[in-house]
């Protein structure tokens, strides 16, 4: 089991939230508080939630993602999910999240420069 944590970077209107470890009911609350603080602080036009470091996620993690999607929408931004692994993708697909939120994959851990370029291109 890996402790859940998140690393947050902001650059030119893009907020990259890289989550790692296990996301479950126990870890979701502190993650939610840290992420929300930064969502309201930066009010970024684009929020990339990089899940490449997530080792486990259950429905509490799904709730965390859908809740953040809702917050980003309220702040008139858009959210992108990056690099979920197979088991995380399975949960996202079961809930139809993959039809609601854009999911992007890169060939290695999310290259934020890649996303920045992609996002600026529109």
Partner 1 sequence: MKKELINEMNLRIPALSVNESFARYAVSSFVSQLDPTLEEIADIRTVVSEAVTNSVIHGYRDSKGDVFISVKYYSDRSVKITVRDRGCGIADIEKVTQPFYTGDPAGERGGMGFTIMSSFTDKMKIKSVLGRGTAVILIKRLHKDA
* Binding positions for partner 1, rule: CB under 8 A: 1, 22, 24-26, 28, 32, 56, 58-60, 62-64, 66-67, 86-87, 90-91, 94-95
Cβ atoms within 10 Å, residue 35:
23
Rounded to the nearest whole angstrom, what is the least distance from the CB of residue 89 to partner 1 in the complex?
Answer: 11
Q: Which is nearer to partner 1, 76 or 86 (CB)?
A: 86
Contact 62, 88 (CB under 8 A): no
Q: Which is nearer to partner 1, 53 or 112 (CB)?
A: 53
CA 98 to chain centre: 13
Rounded to the nearest whole angstrom, what is the least distance from the CB of residue 6 to partner 1 in the complex?
Answer: 16
Mark out the alpha helices in the chain (DSSP H runs). 25-42, 59-74, 86-94, 97-100, 112-121
Contact 18, 74 (CB under 8 A): no
Q: Which is nearer to partner 1, 60 or 116 (CB)?
A: 60
Rounded to the nearest whole angstrom, what is the least distance from the CB of residue 71 to partner 1 in the complex?
Answer: 10
d(CA 3, CA 117): 31
Q: Which is nearer to partner 1, 32 or 78 (CB)?
A: 32
């Amino acid at each position: 089991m890996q402790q859940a944590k998140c690393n947050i970077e902001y650059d030119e209107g893009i907020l990259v939230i890289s989550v790692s470890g296990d996301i479950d009911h126990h870890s979701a609350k502190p993650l939610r508080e840290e992420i929300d603080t930064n969502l309201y602080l930066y009010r970024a036009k684009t929020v990339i939630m990089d899940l490449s470091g997530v080792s486990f996620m259950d429905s509490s993690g799904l709730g965390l993602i859908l809740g953040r999607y809702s917050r980003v929408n309220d702040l008139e931004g858009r959210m992108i999910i990056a690099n979920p692994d197979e088991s995380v993708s399975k949960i996202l697909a079961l809930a139809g999240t993959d039809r609601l939120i854009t999911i992007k994959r890169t060939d290695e851990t999310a290259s934020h420069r890649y996303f920045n370029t992609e996002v600026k291109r529109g």
